[in-house]
Amino acid sequence: MPRLLERLQDEITALDAQSLRRRRQIAETACAPAQSLTLAGASAPRTMLGFSSNDYLGLAAHPALAAALAEGAARYGTGSGGSHLILGHSRAHAELEERLAGWMAPFIPEAQSLFFCTGYMANLAVLSALGGAEAVIFSESLNHASLIDGARLAKARVERYPHCGVAALDAQLGACDAPVKLIVSDAVFSMDGNIAPVAELLALAERHDAWLVLDDAHGFGVLGATGRGVLQAMGLRSERLVLVGTLGKAAGVSGAFVAAHRTVIDYLVQRARPYIFTTAAPPAIAHALLASLTLIEGEEGDLRRARLQARIAQLRRGLEAILPADGSAWLPDSPTAIQPLVVGDNARAMQAMAQLDARGLRVGAIRPPTVPAGTARLRITLSASHSEADVARLLDASGDALARPWKEAA
Ligand SMILES: *Cc1c(COP(=O)(O)O)cnc(C)c1O
């Protein structure tokens, strides 16, 4: 084997030895609580009850959205034909941006929006474009990888601030005399489910003349009375807000948007390389997203958000009742669809996941370095399409898994 290949293989082998090698499973059927999956190395699929999707409203396989996608393809074809600045920007993209701008208008003065192929690219775009050489980026320590990578791509200096550390951030901002400051935070933290102190962050942005970039990947569609996300839930309004929302999670399709004052959006169109140098997503995707927004803001969205809330309450009540008395597992305060059951020890998390797996239940086990040492967890995510019986099944199996003794990792 050439030496170059050997080097790669050595690294993969080392990951394998630490049980850190990642493998994919193949979904044979649409995203739904009960889904047929072929696991890595398995010869036949199994039907599993899953608690790890980001399909919070259960729209990923909604027939109305599949029909809208087909209608969009019939109208616009499959490919966009080019980048947004050349000829790929279709009427469907423009309409979607207008709808989203209207959604955000109560929270951002003179709001406009810009559609991206993915949230990852939207975050790269915002941070690299606004974080020029004269800027400093203040990055929350539990931020998503895409924000971290966006900060790396930016020419700005990057300072991390402690998780939800409003006082520390205040001091860091006060000590900074850069002409451009960006506060950057997940709105809902992806491994813990808690919501960032966004009102306090905005107050700091106002006091220190900074932008506040919020990544609402897990809030859009779910939080707020009509699903417009964290800004609606918290009742914020400012021209300093730059909101990134993703459209592949609760919205059930794919893509993302940035909403901000029209000058920010115009600047991104001129300067954001992840916007400019890539082929526009198929117009049919934008067409399907228009249908998704109609569902999210309508009665169906209300119903689904209420169902999701009921499942969250059911799960939390049930888990609280089965937590071991010795405090060796705990449930952080999360009001969202992301519900981590922290079991501390890595081996215990793996063992619990295997026990759930044996009973046909799919839950992710998250270990360091993704989360701090000693906080390995089962990361449960809920969807409006989970039934009361689905959650009851998870609770039943979790009770058994938690009751089992476990071997401390060597
Ligand atoms: C999923 C996610 C993203 C990336 O969005 P994609 O559309 O999947 O690329 C960005 N930020 C956070 C917090 C996420 O959870």
* pLDDT by residue, tens only, the chain of 410 residues: 899 999 999 999 998 888 788 889 999 999 999 999 998 889 999 999 999 999 999 999 999 999 999 999 999 999 999 999 999 999 999 999 999 999 999 999 999 999 999 999 999 999 999 999 999 999 999 999 999 999 999 999 999 999 999 999 999 999 999 999 999 999 999 999 999 999 999 999 999 999 999 999 999 999 999 999 999 999 999 999 999 999 999 999 999 999 999 999 999 999 999 999 999 999 999 999 999 999 999 999 999 999 999 999 999 999 999 999 888 899 999 999 999 999 998 889 999 999 999 999 999 999 988 898 899 999 999 999 999 999 999 999 999 988 877 665 44
| Bridge partner residues of 215 (DSSP) | 186, 244
pLDDT on residue 354 = 93
Ligand 1 center to residue 280 CA distance, Å? 18
* CA-120 nearest atom, ligand 1: 9
The strand pair at 180-186 and 34-38 is best described as: unpaired
- N-term to C-term CA, the chain: 34
Which residue carries 């960032």 as its tokens? 196
* CA-247 nearest atom, ligand 1: 7
Ligand 1 center to residue 218 CA distance, Å? 8
Residue nearest atom 12 of ligand 1, based on CA coordinates:
217
Ligand 1 center to residue 217 CA distance, Å? 6
Please, how many CA atoms are within 13 Å of residue 24, restricted to the half-sphere of its CB?
A: 3
Token pair listed for 3: 């030496």
- Helix 198-207, helix 166-174: angle, nearest 10: 10
Ligand 1 center to residue 184 CA distance, Å? 14
Q: Which amino acid is at 282?
A: P
Q: Which phi and psi angles does 121 have, rounded to 5°?
A: -70, -35
Cβ(191) to ligand 1 under 6 A?
Answer: no
From the centroid of its chain, how far is CA 63? Answer: 23
- Helix 119-130, helix 262-271: angle, nearest 10: 90
Ligand 1 center to residue 119 CA distance, Å? 5
* CA-248 nearest atom, ligand 1: 7
Token pair listed for 217: 């990947």
Q: Are 147 and 123 in contact, with CB atoms under 8 Å apart?
A: yes
**Domains of the chain, first to last:** 24-53+299-409 (3.90.1150.10), 63-297 (3.40.640.10)
